[in-house]
Amino acid sequence: MKNAARLTLILAALVLAVAPLAPAADAPTAVGTWDAVASTPDGDLTSVITIKQVEGALKAEIELGGVQRIVTDEKQEANVFRMKVQYEGGLYDIEAKVDGDAMEGTWQGGGQSGALKAKRRP
């Protein structure tokens, strides 16, 4: 009996350790190509965000102001997608909630912040 109890305990610990790594089945995914608009103090700034799943991790690319920008720290927790984007010498944080084929959130960096909206391409 001791071995069976020990095995049960080990299996339970393994399940608890791995469970956070698995995305919720009903959580919307950020994977896809998105047409985005960021509201800035200088007016709207359009971009194209492409998010792929590569070897189990999210990898984003963003074309902002007609130029490819460096993206890091991509992650999605439940329906919230986050990433960092290098732009004009600064690092900007982006956070958006995914709701089907729409994302809505905020950006901040360089002492400024604003709203962000995006629509997934078909």
Closest CA to 83 of 119, 109, 56, 46: 109
Residue type, 90: G
Are 103 and 15 contacting, i.e. CB atoms less than 8 angstroms apart? no
Global pTM reads: 0.77
pLDDT at residue 29 is higher than 80: yes
Sequence ranges of the domains in the chain: 26-120
Residue 84 vs residues 7, 75, 106, 111: alpha-carbon distances, Å:
42, 10, 12, 15
DSSP string across 31-55: -EEEEEEEEETTEEEEEEEEEEEET
Reported as a single tens digit per residue, the pLDDT across 6-27 is 544 554 444 544 444 444 455 6
CA gap 65, 49 in Å, rounded: 12
| 44-86 pLDDT, tens digit each | 999 999 999 999 899 999 998 789 999 999 999 999 999 999 9
Second CATH level (architecture) for the domain 26-120:
Beta Barrel (2.40)
Residue 26 vs residue 120, higher pLDDT: 120
In eight-state DSSP terms, residue 94 is E
Total residues belonging to the chain: 122
